[in-house]
């Protein structure tokens, strides 16, 4: 599960990094991605329930789970089974809960990270990826663009990312990431609410109010 968290929270570079090798990008793909990014930036924030799956070509679908995420700019709060991540843009708290113990690990948010997070999925194409319009399909009855992002560096954390974008609304509906052993993680929004007003303290884990949780501060 930690691997899945890294991929999601592995799912905060936001519009500050210039696109590399613009000439190698598909202009149509970039146009679509810019509309998606513009849509996101106009929101005060959003919350969503999503489904995430893991599959391989040999074994097919291996695992399916659901999670919840709330995003506001560079801030996000992510809940997955026995883990919850709070990120207020400066500090990230990773809370692990089990029947035996509860612990939270605290880290500073790293600048220029290559991690994929719930907040930078909308702008990851601006950092070291070539974008190509790979085709079209239908997802849950909705026509979507399929845009493939390919890393420019051979040692990038994510070599390929595929985004599924609603053709009419320019909203991100799902994305796929391949791991280094041939498996595919796919994340699909199932219920999204963009009409919300979120207080900033929602993205902070308050250790004083959770005295039963062991604190591991790595800052």
Residue pLDDT, tens place only, 178-198: 877 778 999 999 888 987 889
pLDDT at res. 16 = 24
Sign of the alpha-carbon torsion through 75, 76, 77, 83: negative
Has residue 84 got a pLDDT over 50?
yes
> What fold characterizes domain 2-217?
outer membrane lipoprotein receptor (LolB), chain A (2.50.20)
Encode pLDDT of 48-65 as tens digits: 999 999 998 888 888 999
Whole-number Å distance between alpha carbons of 78 and 84 = 6
Task: For residues 29-53, give the mean pLDDT.
Answer: 91
Whole-number Å distance between alpha carbons of 5 and 191 = 20
Whole-number Å distance between alpha carbons of 120 and 16 = 11
Eight-class DSSP state of 196: -
Task: For residues 18-44, give the mean pLDDT.
Answer: 77
CB distance 174 to 189 below 8 Å: yes
Encode pLDDT of 95-149 as tens digits: 998 888 899 999 999 875 566 777 778 778 887 789 999 999 999 899 999 999 9
Whole-number Å distance between alpha carbons of 30 and 162 = 14
Whole-number Å distance between alpha carbons of 87 and 73 = 11
Distance of alpha carbon 100 from the chain centroid: 29
78 - beta bridge partners?
A: 69, 85
Task: For residues 21-33, give the mean pLDDT.
Answer: 78
Question: In sequence order, which residues have a C-beta less than 8 Å from that of residue 47 and are 6 or more positions away?
Answer: 68, 69, 70, 71, 192, 193, 196, 198
pLDDT at res. 34 = 92
**To the nearest whole number, what is the mean pLDDT of the chain?**
84
Eight-class DSSP state of 42: H
Higher pLDDT pick, 147 / 152:
147
First and final C-alpha spacing in the chain = 23
Higher pLDDT pick, 88 / 183:
88
Percentage, residues of the chain above pLDDT 90: 52
pLDDT at res. 142 = 94
**pTM assigned to the model:** 0.78
Structure tokens, 20: 């590399």
Has residue 20 got a pLDDT over 60?
no
| Domain residue spans of the chain | 2-217
Has residue 26 got a pLDDT over 70?
yes
């Amino acid at each position: 599960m930690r691997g899945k968290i890294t991929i999601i929270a592995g799912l905060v570079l936001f519009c500050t990094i210039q696109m590399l090798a613009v000439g190698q990008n598909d202009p149509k793909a970039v146009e679509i991605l810019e509309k998606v990014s513009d849509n996101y930036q106009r929101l005060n924030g959003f919350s969503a329930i999503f489904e995430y799956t893991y599959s391989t070509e040999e074994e097919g679908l291996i695992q399916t789970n659901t999670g919840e995420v709330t995003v506001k700019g560079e801030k996000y709060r992510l809940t997955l089974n026995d883990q919850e991540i709070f990120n207020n843009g400066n500090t990230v708290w990773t809370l692990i809960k089990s029947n035996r113990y509860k612990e939270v690990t605290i880290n500073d948010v790293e600048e220029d990270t290559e991690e994929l997070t719930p907040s930078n999925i909308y702008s990851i194409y601006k950092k070291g990826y070539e974008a190509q319009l790979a085709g079209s399909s239908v997802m849950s009855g909705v026509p979507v663009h399929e845009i493939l992002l390919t890393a420019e560096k051979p040692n990038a954390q994510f070599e390929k990312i595929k985004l599924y974008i609603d053709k009419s609304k320019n909203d991100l509906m799902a994305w796929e990431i391949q791991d280094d052993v041939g498996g595919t993680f796919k994340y699909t929004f199932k219920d999204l609410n963009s009409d919300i007003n979120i207080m900033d303290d929602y993205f902070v884990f308050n250790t004083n109010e959770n005295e039963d949780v062991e604190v591991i501060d790595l800052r």
